[in-house]
Amino acid sequence: MGEAPPERPDPAPPGAPPFVHPPLEAALLVALAVGVALGLRGLSAAVPALAGATGLGLVLACVVPAYVLALRRGRDPLLVHGILVRPQRPWRLAAVSLALLGGFALAIELAARSRGWAPQPLSAGALLARLGNDLVTVALAEEYLFRGVAQPAWEPAEPRWRVLGVPFGRGALRAALAFGLAHPLVWLAPAQAVVVLPGLWFAWLRAAGGSVLVCALAHALANTLQLGCLTRYPELPSLLPWVG
């Protein structure tokens, strides 16, 4: 008879409190990921042949350190970081997300028509490919770090506010702000700080549903919608400098 497969670490040993990283440790994990992303950006600029490896480098920087730290403490990282968590309130999550995405698309459409921009054709295949690529190489890694690791670590025991009936505290705000500040640091583009706004949406999804996979899907959809709007209206950066 073969050997029994090894058991997964216990996500919550009896009597143990819910696992979160210490706040300082979470901040250092975010700083490490930003530093690695900056280094990869500079490396790919110097050696263009390495540009394709930046996605893998981002995944490793955002996921591996926190994963290993949780594993060393006897916890299942995929559970305590919200990956293998079944979403709660799925219909509420979907309704809020569709309202935000649809509202953004409608606002772009109205603004483009008011300026007389001619719409360009869209490729459904290209958008689907972008969605899949973003989900795997960007959204999952960033949401694992900011919503799976940092948000719980920076959240007090009792969240201070409620948003649409969901407890929403300083941890959610801090994670969204860190997310918003990391982008202009990495891309050297101050306008990128606007991503703090979708960061608040992703933070709300994490607080409302518990699942980081839902946050990652929303993140990838937002990126894909932005690409679709930019493809449809190439003049869009003149209105929204952070697009493109």
Q: What is the pLDDT of residues 217-228, one digit of tens each?
A: 999 999 999 999
pLDDT at residue 5, as a whole number: 46
Residue that the structure tokens 């007090």 belong to: 156
Q: Which of helix, strand or coil describes residue 22?
A: coil
As a whole number of angstroms, the distance between CA 150 and CA 131 comes to 24
Q: What is the pLDDT of residues 176-191, one digit of tens each?
A: 999 999 988 887 788 8
- Over range 108-112, report the average pLDDT: 96
- Over range 9-35, report the average pLDDT: 79
Q: What is the pLDDT of residues 50-99, one digit of tens each?
A: 666 777 888 899 999 999 999 999 999 999 999 999 999 899 999 999 99
Q: Could you give phi then psi for residue 153, rounded to 5 degrees?
A: -65, -35
* The three-state (H, E, C) secondary structure of 192-212, written as one string: HHHHHHHHHHHHHHHHHHCCH
Beta bridge partners of 161: 168
As a whole number of angstroms, the distance between CA 185 and CA 206 comes to 24
- Over range 118-142, report the average pLDDT: 94
The answer to whether 140 and 216 have CB atoms below 8 angstroms apart is: yes
Question: Residues of the chain with pLDDT > 90: what percent?
Answer: 71
Buried b (16+ CB within 10 A) or exposed e, 4-25: eeeeebebeeeeeeebbbeeeb
Cβ-proximal residues to 200 (8 Å cutoff; 6+ apart), any chain:
172, 173, 176
pLDDT winner (highest mean) among 24-33, 52-61, 187-196, 231-240: 24-33
Q: Give the pLDDT band of residue 46 (cuts 50, 70, 90).
A: confident
Cβ-proximal residues to 104 (8 Å cutoff; 6+ apart), any chain:
225, 229
pLDDT at residue 10, as a whole number: 46
The answer to whether 195 and 242 have CB atoms below 8 angstroms apart is: yes
